Structure 1
Amino acid sequence: MSTRKYPYAIVIGRFQPVHFGHQRLIEEGLRAAERVIVVVGSDRKPRSVKDPFTFDERERMVRACLRGTEQMRVSVVGVSDSPYNDQLWIASIQSAVDRLIQQDGHAPGKARVALVGHLKDASSYYLKLFPHWEFVGHHNVESLNATDVRSLYFDPEHRGQLARADLPDGTAAFLEQFTHTADYAALCEERAFLVDYRDKYRYAGSEFPPIYTTVDAVVVEAGHILLVQRKFHPGKGTWALPGGFVGQHERLQDAAVRELREETRLKVPVPVLHGSMKASHVFDAPDRSQRGRTITHGFFFELAHNQWTGLSDVRADDDAAEVRWVPIAEFLGMQEHVYEDHYFIANHFLGGLGKN
């Protein structure tokens, strides 16, 4: 007869990559419960220095930490971020966990569930968002954290400082293989760009880094949304909303219209664009941009459609690899190819499509 206290234990993390702290949490879950559900966050995001590995790659690293007898007791599920809606993120995790419990033939509302985690700092606030699960705290493990691992790993000059013994065997083996891929080379290039960018735009002589102000335009017409493909780092190759930095002497909406026209050559007169603006909102998640603290103001434009001439003409500017009208139904399935939080910015407005 099992002496484990819980039927289920939950371990939540980004696992970018899996380190010894993650491994210990999973092991604690296996000691406490019959079955462990590992929730892998930040699913369906394009590769970046902060989120370099796909869900499948992270599941491989998680499973490489397990002994053969433990494999059948661990399930791994991916959950996307919801940077501007904690309740939606909580509901996504609850739904993923409930589905697995139901598949076992149990009632989710009656199953006793443990949430295994370590309250290390303010970034662990999410562990307090699930009061219906019993929190099982775990002590800190002295090891390299994921941020430090990424910092060394994507800097070719310092990668040698990251020894195999610093990571679980499965993670070390995966990272060694990944260094031979084109994705690794691209991420090293992006990291070098970001380091140079932060050094170049740091406030001279100040302990406070700059806070940038940008604008982004969500433009829809006849069930399509206007997107640009980024030509340069960061986010090279991903799809983004037209937008950019606010000029020193510009009002926010004026900047949004200017950036929209510059990036897409959208053939709609400026007065018509201003008249087509239906809503605006501020998006200020502290870590929304890799370049540094960047607060963006989103503007929603709904263009009148002329069925005889088709969608308004657009043409890529020098800063964009491509610009195109994308059917909204197609866009909703593009999350893993969309730059930073632009997918969530667009969806904030698409929920109110057609409203004045």
Structure 2
Amino acid sequence: MSKYHFAVFIGRFQPLHIGHQHVIREALKQAERVIVLIGSSNIARDFANPFTFEERKEMIHRVFRHEMATERLIVEPLEDNLYNDSAWIASVQRTITDIILEYGNNHGFHTSGINDFKVALAGFGKDATGFYLKRFPEWESIQIGSQFGTFNASNIRAAYFQPLPLIPTRGLDDQVAGFLEEYMLTEEFKRRVYEQQYLIDYRKTYGKGPFLTADACVTQSGHVLLIRRGKEYGHGLLALPGGFVNENEQIRDASVRELKEETKISDRKGEIPPSMLASFITGSELFDHPKRSLRGRIVTTAYRFVLPDSKELFTVKGSDDAEHADWYRLGDLEPQVFFEDHWSILQKMIGF
């Protein structure tokens, strides 16, 4: 008889490797069902997160076909919330509760909640990625030792995303290796190869920082002003207007300058002067997560601009580093199309 009704394993699986598989298999020995939550499921592809939720679920399915078919292994997405740990914890709790209520009674109606079920969190307890094991004291813990040395998914990505890619078969199941062989033929693979070289060259040229930037979070009548990146790195992704602070420039002034340069924001009288734009600022917030950018340590201050409600939104036009600038309805936005952490900044600044 299993010790637990459910075990929970949280990870990004970029890609799934034999260390992850070891945790899942050990958890399956101790629990009737294992829930795998795939993190970073709501962000755009980049070198650190090259595979979508569906692609990572496919990797797991190729290795654990029987377990998923018999519903002993349940795989669900988990969204990041970079600047709100409490929201992330609440999301985990809600997701696990919903899954337990659905599967714990064989998809039937359930009225007694989850208190009748024994739940445990599984993971590498001594690894930095196992931080979440301490975030949920209401559940027990299954700490599983690593059996496969010191490699991690970062090492695999570094070897794989190259012009002459290496698939480290000693660290991957044959099924996952086969998936990566197929993936090499896609345009997304080529983009990640470019990104890895770009990041290497960027750090050689500019160092790892810290660097200082300013962003503008501008809303008007239920819309937010966004640019579409024109630069090759992150090309086509949505972002807040912004950029690096000049040597002799105040951060607030940099935010106004970048807003003007990238959007040419105008009212009926023409381009709005800096002093008037600055008058719309209602607040600011620092965003300094150490891993908010793959380019290096980039600290940004975002300024909140609230423009007067109007039937006709101020006119904008992409310029400078922006391929395009436009107003977007707040209710239409999806996180997967945003550059770096700009979705998380937007969430924090306007209270999504």
The answer to whether the Cα contact below 8 Å between 1:120 and 1:140 also exists between their aligned partners in 2 is no
Separation in structure 2 between the aligned mates of residue 293 and residue 318 of structure 1, nearest angstrom: 24
Residues 219, 69 of structure 1: CA spacing in aligned structure 2 closer, same or farther, 3 A cutoff? closer
The equivalent position to 1:49 in structure 2, one of 47, 50, 69, is: 47
Give the match for residue 168 of structure 1: 173
Which residue among 165, 173, 182 is the counterpart of 1:177?
182
Report the TM-score, using the length of structure 1 for normalisation: 0.91
Please say if residues 216 and 244 of structure 1, whose CA atoms lie closer than 8 Å, have aligned partners that are also in contact: yes
Q: CA deviation at 1:110?
A: 3.1
Q: Identity, % of aligned pairs?
A: 39
Secondary structure of the residue that 2:319 maps to in structure 1?
coil
Say how many residue pairs are matched: 338
Hey, what's the Cα distance between the residues in 2 that align with 1:260 and 1:70?
A: 49
User: What residue in structure 2 maps to residue 261 of structure 1?
Assistant: 260
Q: CA deviation at 1:70?
A: 5.5
Match of 1:205 in 2: none
Q: Distance in 2 between matches of 1:274 and 1:320?
A: 21
Which of 4, 14, 17 aligns to 2:15? It is 17
Q: Which runs of 5+ in 1 are unaligned?
A: 203-208
Segments of 4+ in structure 1 off by > 6 A?
none
Distance 1:321 1:328 in 2: 21
Work out whether 1:320 is the aligned partner of 2:326.
no
- One-letter identity of the residue aligned with 2:196: R
List gaps (5 residues or longer) in structure 2. Answer: 267-271
Task: Give 1:246's aligned amino acid.
Answer: V
Residue matched to 2:26: 28
Deviation at 1:69, TM superposition (A): 4.9
RMSD of aligned alpha carbons: 1.5
Contact in 1 for aligned 2:316/2:326 (Cα 8 Å): yes
Alignment of 1:157-306 (within 5 A): 157=164, 159-160=165-166, 162-202=167-207, 209-267=208-266, 268-306=272-310
Aligned to 1:342: 342
TM-aligned CA deviation for residue 119 of structure 1: 2.4
Q: 1:173 deviation in Å?
A: 0.9
Give the drift of 1:115: 0.6
**Aligned mates of 1:94, 1:128 — CA distance in 2:** 14
**Structure 2 SS opposite 1:235:** coil
Alignment match of 2:121 (pick from 110, 115, 123): 115
Per-residue deviation, 1:351: 1.9
Q: How much does 1:124 deviate?
A: 2.7
Compute the TM-score of the two structures, normalised by the length of structure 2: 0.92
Matched AA of 1:286: P
Distance of 1:171 and 1:120 partners within structure 2? 26
* Cα separation, 2, equivalents of 1:137 and 1:87: 23
